[in-house]
Amino acid sequence: MCGIVGYIGTKKASPILINGLLRLEYRGYDSAGISTVEKNGLSIMKDKGRVLNLTKLEGIDDLEGTIGIAHTRWATHGKPSPENSHPHQDNSKTFSVVHNGIIENYHELRKFLTDKGYTFYSQTDTEVIPNLIHYYYTNDKQNDTLKFLRAVRNACFDLKGSFALEILCKNYPDNMIVVRKDSPLVIGKGMGENYISSDIPAILSFTKDFYLLNDLEFVILSRNEAKFYNKDLEPIDKKPKVIEWNASSAEKEGYEDFMLKEIYEQPTAIRETIGAKFSENSKCEFENLNFTKEYLSSLNKIYIVACGTAMHAGLVAKNAIEKLCKIETEIDIASEFRYRDPLVDEKTLCIFISQSGETADTIAALKLSKEKGAKTLAISNVIGSSITREADYAIYTHAGSEIAVASTKAYTSQVVLLVILAIYFAEILELDNSYVTNLKKEILELPKKIEETLKLSEKIKEFSKKVYQEHDIFFIGRGIDETVAKEGSLKLKEISYIHSESYAAGELKHGPIALIENGVTVIGIMTDPNLVEKTISNIQEVITRGAKTLVITNQPIDTSMFDMMIQIPDTHPFISPILSIIPLQLFSYYISKEKGLDVDKPRNLAKSVTVE
């Protein structure tokens, strides 16, 4: 969940490293540090707390090195402290290392190294890495140019778990070695310089040419080149890929917070995600997919596997796929999927959703599905991300960079892409779905309807001011509206720290209604015309027990019984969650602002969850 930045070139490294770390703050972290190659050896500057703390450390302005590595840490082993912060060095201070990921066998490695005379000064798993590299380096009797690389390679072979590493060696002051396994790392190619990061946006302002690394590809970086080697240390040829992102997408552009900016970017994100995949009168097309009628007809089941908000997008998709394609579809949480021995085989299609494309649990589930013989399809917002390279097929949302930890535009883009995918499958299967044409028309009208929904923000803000001091809030809905209730509840938890629960509205009387008392807030979502009357009955049950109510609907219903009603544009039930979630995104945002909280960086959370 932490961030990595590196630089090797002719400019002073420390300002570039700190600027890169600032761009990675959205990932979540509790400490930060840098290491540079100086005339007298390897320097280290690190401390717990924010990146800006680094700029206040004595001596940091005196650093002159033009090669350096940097890191923001999110604690997994050891509390936040200067000692546990990265970078870490070996006992002789020959090597500096930063590490993303988790070393599962660090206890065994630590004992092995302790028995060899090494001393440890932190509680981290990472500290074994520089000492292990030093162990192999000092025991290598060949003094050729690849000695540094061999030591890194041999150490990596001993590591179990995930890692993205940047390594400096004082004996090789003009080089840096980087490698990754199951944790993201990219190299940005410049003129006479190279940039390294765990996330493309952190270095996008410097270059658009990126090398995308596969697992256990080792790279020796100098100012003018990058030499790539496989795990057998055989040279490999790798070409840079041009990433056409706009660096300004990582700026607030006048909005008070990234989350608010990203909520208002949803019309554009949806337009870009729809793209040219279809028109009202043409079939859906995905240039990266080649599914056949024979294959889709052979499927017994589709699994959609994801975490958090992405899993909620999958719940929406289940409804569309089953009704349009008549294929049983199961939704699974990625962190549970591979531990319950899922019934997956060659007649199963497994779809994996990850905004970052680096979610550790989801990638692990994908690998298991491939082992069991299933075809795999990744849905991500990041071209070249780990999950898209592991999967058999990949398609992309085009939401642009999403900086706020709480996902908004990535979620709605996932929903629309999944519904389009359901239409694509249905058309290949040649099923008689009379309302597909109408559904396409409604999808094409979504951006305009989102813009209309965003105009309701002041009304939502008004209700937020009335309830922001609540301790418990409940969300209810039926059918597809229950999936919106789940996502709305999650958003509120994430950024307001208010306890909230979501329920299928019909389940209230089976237990949860015991929690409803005078003054409790209940939010109801009702967009499916077949279920509106039932949901109204459930809301009446909480009103009679003194609940305050906010209703979000696109149906013509009597407003007099509710404390507030938000009327959103009418649309097809399959895509109504894209419109009905927007008031709830704004609701969570305004409550968080009323409470004076950090909307973009909620406590204990990170944007990209790269450890299990």
Q: pLDDT tens digits, residue range 206-240? A: 898 999 999 999 999 999 999 999 999 999 999 99
Distances in Å between the alpha carbon of 522 and those of 20, 474, 547, 550?
Answer: 43, 5, 6, 7
E strands in 420-491:
472-477
Q: pLDDT tens digits, residue range 124-134? A: 999 999 999 99
Catalytic residues: 2, 607
* Radius of gyration, alpha carbons of the chain: 26
| pLDDT band for position 359 (cuts 50, 70, 90) | confident
Please report, rounded to a whole number, the percentage of residues in the chain having pLDDT higher than 90. 66
356 pLDDT more than 80? yes
6 pLDDT more than 90? yes
Question: Is there a contact between 417 and 313 (Cβ–Cβ < 8 Å)?
Answer: no
* Enclosing H/E stretch for 260: helix 258-264
Q: pLDDT tens digits, residue range 234-292? A: 999 999 988 876 655 556 767 889 999 999 999 988 988 887 788 777 788 887 899 99
Calpha distance 281→357 (Å, rounded): 33
Calpha distance 330→152 (Å, rounded): 42
Residue 459: exposure state from Cβ atoms within 10 A (0-12, 13-18, ≥19): middle
Return the CATH number of the domain spanning residue range 253-444: 3.40.50.10490
Q: pLDDT tens digits, residue range 52-100? A: 889 899 999 999 999 999 999 876 778 888 999 999 999 999 999 999 8
506 pLDDT more than 90? no
Mode of pairing for the β-strands spanning 176-181 and 218-221: antiparallel
Report pLDDT for 202: 80
Mean pLDDT of 530-541: 87
Distances in Å between the alpha carbon of 101 and those of 112, 114, 160, 360, 610?
Answer: 21, 23, 11, 9, 6
1 pLDDT more than 60? no
Q: pLDDT tens digits, residue range 167-192? A: 999 999 999 999 998 788 999 999 99
Specify whether domain 457-594 bears CATH 3.40.50.10490.
yes
CATH topology agreement for domains 3-249 and 253-444: no
Report pLDDT for 433: 67
Query: Mean pLDDT of all residues in the chain?
Result: 90
Calpha distance 394→362 (Å, rounded): 14
Please report, rounded to a whole number, the percentage of residues in the chain having pLDDT higher than 70. 96
Domains in the chain: boundaries: 3-249, 253-444, 457-594
| pLDDT band for position 200 (cuts 50, 70, 90) | confident
- Fold entry, domain 3-249: Glutamine Phosphoribosylpyrophosphate, subunit 1, domain 1 (3.60.20)
580 pLDDT more than 90? yes
The more confidently predicted of residues 114 and 20 is 114
607 pLDDT more than 70? no
- Give the rounded distance of the alpha carbon of 594 from its chain centre: 27
For every residue of 295-351, DSSP letters joined together read: HHHH-SEEEEEE-HHHHHHHHHHHHHHHHHH---EEEEEHHHHTTS-----TTEEEE
